Each structure stands twice: as C-alpha cells, then as structure tokens.
Amino acid sequence: MNHEVAAELINDHATIIPNYNEFDPSFWFKVKEELTDKQWTYVQKRIIEDKPLKLIALEEQTTIDAVRGWGKEVKRKLKPVLTEYIDIE
C-alpha cells in the first residue's frame, strides 16, 4: 500500500483500494488482526471491493446502520495502524 492510499484512509477520503493483491501481505495481516470478523468484512466488501452499504447489509443479512457501525469502528481501529505503516515506509 502506498502512503497516499494509507493517508486517505486515515482521513476518511478513500473508499476503494486499487490493486489489493499487490499490497504487502504483512500489512493486511496486521490490519485483519486488529479487527473483528464483521469489521474485516467491511474492509473486504466496502474498502477493497467498493460495494455499497446497502448491498453489504443485504449480503450480511443486517441493517445499513449496522454496516455503518462496522465502518466507524474500522476507521477508529485502523487509524493507528495506518499511521504506523506510513511512518515505517
């Protein structure tokens, strides 16, 4: 992941990560280890796959508000991880 994408995620401006498979696997391992299963689902479906909240809610058999809640927690939890990643790179 490049610094620009990480910085955008920290600042809540990014919604999709292009070329997901090209990023460092250790980065994704660190991200996943910080999140619950539902929060990781949010990362996969919303950030990586760029699916709309409504579709994620339908696929996960939950409400849009629940999916939004996962996203808020993802942003809160990932901010320190992404900041650390930017500082390391």
Band (pLDDT 50/70/90 cuts) for residue 19 is low
pLDDT in tens, 42-84: 999 998 888 999 999 999 999 999 999 999 999 899 888 777 7
Segments forming the whole domain that contains residue 23: 3-88
pLDDT attached to residue 49: 87
pLDDT > 80? residue 25? no
pLDDT > 50? residue 88? yes
Compute the distance between CA of residue 29 and CA of residue 62 in angstroms, rounded to an integer. Answer: 26
| Residue 56, both tokens | 């994620």
Q: How many domains does the chain have?
A: 1
| Residue 68, both tokens | 């939004």
In this prediction the pTM is 0.70
Average pLDDT, the chain: 78
